[in-house]
Chains A and B, each alone.
Chain A
Amino acid sequence: MTQTEWDRDAVTEVIEQKKSMPGALLPILHGIQDRIGFIPEDAVPQIAKALNLSRAEVHGVISFYHYFRTTPPGKRTIHLCRAESCQAMESEALEAHIKARLGIGYHETTADGAFSLEPVYCLGNCACSPSMMIDHEVHGRVTPQSFDAIINELKEIAA
């Protein structure tokens, strides 16, 4: 597999901006992921050096948190809630529909690079279950039909 290209200047900028914060590692990782969509594995030595940590420590933190990713995401990321309140409102049927419609499972990206699918454990939208979040937008009372409508609309915008 070839190494994915990524914006080295953006990473350096984020590190320089945040390295003097107390407990700077999470803010740096967030900053990098916000800027380029993921945390490249070969950025780890640079992060470790800036914070005077071992590479293993940085890797340990990246891999501990579900939100951080080390591969580029699709154009949009769908976070689908798997928690109890959504289960009480038929989220499992919705999950099956979404996986079939996109042709992918959790932690995967569609072949055209349009969507990534991630599970999430509660979006705080439990009064309007089942819920999903696309990028930063929450959607409530999602049905297979409303999911299709939202996806179609997004594809139109993307085109």
Chain B
Amino acid sequence: MITVYVPRDSSALGLGAERVANAIQVEAAKRGAAINLVRNGSRGLYWLEPMVEVATPAGRVAYGPVQPGDVPGLFDAGFLEGKAHPLCQGPTEEIPYLKNQERLTFARVGITDPVSLDDYLAHEGYRGLRNALGLEPAAIVEEVTTSGLRGRGGAAFPTGIKWKTVLNTPAKHQSAGQPIGTRNAPEGGSAKDALPEKYIVCNADEGDSGTFSDRMIMEGDPFVLIEGMTIAGLAVGATQGYIYLRVEYPHADVALNQAIAAALEAGYLGDDILGSGKRFHVEVRLGAGAYVCGEETALMESIEGKRGMVRFKPPLPAIEGLFGQPTVVNNVISLASVPIILDKGGKYYADYGMGRSRGTLPLQLAGNVKRPGLIEKAFGMTLRELLYDYGGGSASGRPIRAVQVGGPLGSYMPESQFDTPLDYEAFSAIWAVLGHGGVVVFDDTVDMAKMARYAMEFCAIESCGKCTPCRIGSTRGVEVIDRIIDDQDRAKNLALLRDLGDTMLAGSLCALGGMTPYPVLSALNHFPEDFGEKSVAQVA
């Protein structure tokens, strides 16, 4: 029986993976070849998707990009034995794009069947949880602190410190004398009626353009996220977890729920985790298309069934979060990085990286780039290496002119900044944002005044409306940029745009209003010619 892998990742499906899988089944049946078809996650080499792999005695061999029409030819060429074919990429692990990565969080993605608990266990899964079950909560928190892990959602706050605050904050209405994390159902009530005292909330509202690492983890290795949340629950004494998932990710919803059911069935989740007496449950909650709900306090409002409006801080969510209780809110990648830290130790993780940016960051290369995909590397590589060594330059073959890093609220960076190392501090030193590690590439046909206008328009569409600078400033911002593009009182309107930027930066509660000036003003600062081109042309 030969094992063949065809991804079930939604980007691979979007390029025809389902039809390729069907064609392989049909062709194998026709030829009487016994195959075991596994639907794995994506390795993240999206320019090769749909990428089909075959397990051979010498390891897995990759073929891609495969279209249904290629399948008979692949069988003729003997791809089931890993033989040569124009689409053959050789041994998967030897493809330079993959070979030169440092995959810690993504160690299993693309390798295993995402919803097979057996596969997960066979590939070092749940070793972190087993270690955590033998530790005191404070010792788990200590291990995460040692790892140097910072929130991978963008704000880069140290995860260990956040967890420590939640651990040390007693929940309200907690029954006296019962140790945190082991509370059972109140007398006379079922376990289902018991109010959990603290919460772990996973922010899976990945709404930034150019980011897809959360989606890849949830579709490609959902157990690692569930394990990370369970460890977080043990660490701070929380018994209920919510994954707040954006509605735009239906495939992730399916994979997560399949994995949760399997973990529950096997005792890795539930009222008595692996016989330890510790309890933890996870539920997926769907968002409804509001970008601002990726902000942690708006997200909690949304889970509570309200409009996703930002809350004032303090109180911090760690002290008074979901349903008024101490709550850990972490991004998908932050939580998915926890199992390996508890498995191999905080120091092992901290040994990767540079400066205060420890461990690895899954970088996501998108937009106008020849080899788009996911690259997990230790912090410290330069943007230029990422764009050219991995990305191979632009897809159009034209020069790369601008790169937006860190999502729609990140700065646009010109060529002169491409040697910046991928490190939180190095980016903030040049008024840029590394954030979630999403990188969107634009060639020289981009109009930066138009991109600045779009950033303001996006803020106007997605503002929750609580703060005036964000709600009204963004609408006025679109109008000001329109006047600049139309060359009406250009100097005056440029000054007004900078002034508006300052107001939004200083006067907004959350990053949506507070960071929209990053793309707008960076576009203006680095590409001034796009804001005055028309008048130059008219003069000439």
Interface contact B302-A133, CB-CB below 8 Å? no
The stretch that binds B, out of A1-9, A63-71, A96-104, is A63-71
**A137 in contact (CB, < 8 A):** yes
Min CB gap A91→B, angstroms:
11
Q: Which of B209, B288, B446, B454 contacts A66 (CB 8 A)?
A: B288
The stretch that binds A, out of B10-18, B73-81, B143-151, is B10-18
Contact with A along B465-499 (1 / 0, CB 8 A): 00000000000000000000000000000000000
Interface contact B288-A29, CB-CB below 8 Å? yes
Interface contact B209-A85, CB-CB below 8 Å? yes
Interface contact B210-A85, CB-CB below 8 Å? yes
Interface contact B305-A128, CB-CB below 8 Å? no
A61 to B373, CA, bound (A): 36
- Closest residue of chain A to B195 (Cβ to Cβ) is A22
Min CB gap B326→A, angstroms:
16
Residues from chain B with Cβ under 8 Å of A27 in the complex: 285-286
Interface contact B13-A137, CB-CB below 8 Å? yes
Contact with A along B432-474 (1 / 0, CB 8 A): 0000001011110010000100100010011010000000000
Q: Can you name 14 A-B pairs with beta carbons within 8 Å?
A: A23-B285, A30-B288, A65-B290, A66-B289, A84-B454, A85-B210, A85-B367, A121-B209, A121-B458, A124-B248, A125-B14, A126-B372, A126-B440, A128-B49
Residues from chain A with Cβ under 8 Å of B279 in the complex: none
A88 to B187, CA, bound (A): 60
Q: Which of A89, A122, A129 contacts B207 (CB 8 A)?
A: A122
Interface contact B440-A84, CB-CB below 8 Å? yes
Min CB gap A107→B, angstroms:
12
Residues from chain A with Cβ under 8 Å of B308 in the complex: 64-65
Q: With A27-B285, A121-B458, A122-B208 in contact, is A129–B11 under 8 Å at CB?
A: no
Instruction: Tell me what chain B mostly uses at the interface: helix, strand, loop, or mixed.
Output: mixed
A64 to B302, CA, bound (A): 10
Interface contact B13-A84, CB-CB below 8 Å? no
Interface contact B212-A126, CB-CB below 8 Å? yes
Residues from chain B with Cβ under 8 Å of A131 in the complex: 14
Q: Which of A29, A125, A136, A141 contacts B250 (CB 8 A)?
A: A136
A129 to B395, CA, bound (A): 11
Residues from chain B with Cβ under 8 Å of A141 in the complex: 15
**B313 in contact (CB, < 8 A):** no
Min CB gap A50→B, angstroms:
12
Q: Which of B14, B290, B451 contacts A138 (CB 8 A)?
A: B14
Min CB gap A146→B, angstroms:
11
Q: How many residues of A contact B (CB 8 A)?
A: 43
Residues from chain A with Cβ under 8 Å of B15 in the complex: 128, 140-141
**B197 in contact (CB, < 8 A):** no
Q: With A84-B210, A85-B366, A89-B367 in contact, is A120–B372 under 8 Å at CB?
A: no
Interface contact A64-B307, CB-CB below 8 Å? yes
Min CB gap A125→B, angstroms:
5
Interface contact B395-A89, CB-CB below 8 Å? yes
Residues from chain B with Cβ under 8 Å of A120 in the complex: 248, 289
Interface contact B303-A23, CB-CB below 8 Å? yes
Interface contact B368-A88, CB-CB below 8 Å? yes
Among B312-349, those with CB < 8 Å from A are 323
Residues from chain A with Cβ under 8 Å of B446 in the complex: 88
Interface contact B211-A24, CB-CB below 8 Å? no
Q: With A26-B285, A64-B290, A85-B367 in contact, is A122–B306 under 8 Å at CB?
A: no
Residues from chain B with Cβ under 8 Å of A137 in the complex: 13-14
Residues from chain A with Cβ under 8 Å of B461 in the complex: 121
A137 to B206, CA, bound (A): 18
Q: Which of B286, B395, B404 contacts A84 (CB 8 A)?
A: B404
Interface contact B366-A126, CB-CB below 8 Å? yes
A21 to B49, CA, bound (A): 40
Residues from chain A with Cβ under 8 Å of B302 in the complex: 26
**B364 in contact (CB, < 8 A):** yes
Residues from chain A with Cβ under 8 Å of B214 in the complex: 124
Interface contact B10-A124, CB-CB below 8 Å? yes
Which of B44, B209, B249, B291: most chain A Cβ within 10 A? B209
Residues from chain B with Cβ under 8 Å of A26 in the complex: 285-288, 302-303, 305
Contact with B along A67-110 (1 / 0, CB 8 A): 11000000000010001111111000000000000000000000
Residues from chain A with Cβ under 8 Å of B307 in the complex: 60-61, 64
Min CB gap A109→B, angstroms:
18
Interface contact B441-A124, CB-CB below 8 Å? no
Residues from chain B with Cβ under 8 Å of A139 in the complex: 14
Min CB gap B249→A, angstroms:
6
A138 to B18, CA, bound (A): 12
Min CB gap A78→B, angstroms:
13
Counting from the closest, the 5 A-B pairs by CB-CB distance are A25-B305, A83-B209, A126-B366, A65-B288, A67-B289
Residues from chain A with Cβ under 8 Å of B305 in the complex: 23-26, 51, 61
- Closest residue of chain B to A64 (Cβ to Cβ) is B307
**A127 in contact (CB, < 8 A):** yes
Interface contact B366-A123, CB-CB below 8 Å? no
**B304 in contact (CB, < 8 A):** yes
Interface contact B211-A126, CB-CB below 8 Å? yes
Residues from chain B with Cβ under 8 Å of A67 in the complex: 247, 287-290
Min CB gap B531→A, angstroms:
18
Interface contact A124-B249, CB-CB below 8 Å? yes
A25 to B207, CA, bound (A): 22
A87 to B455, CA, bound (A): 12
- Closest residue of chain B to A62 (Cβ to Cβ) is B288
**B408 in contact (CB, < 8 A):** yes
A23 to B212, CA, bound (A): 28
Interface contact B14-A140, CB-CB below 8 Å? yes
Interface contact B451-A84, CB-CB below 8 Å? yes
Interface contact B248-A65, CB-CB below 8 Å? no
Q: With A79-B248, A89-B368, A140-B15 in contact, is A124–B289 under 8 Å at CB?
A: no
Q: Which of B11, B306, B395, B464 contacts A140 (CB 8 A)?
A: B11
Min CB gap A63→B, angstroms:
9
**B365 in contact (CB, < 8 A):** yes
Interface contact B364-A127, CB-CB below 8 Å? yes
- Closest residue of chain B to A34 (Cβ to Cβ) is B286
Residues from chain B with Cβ under 8 Å of A66 in the complex: 288-290
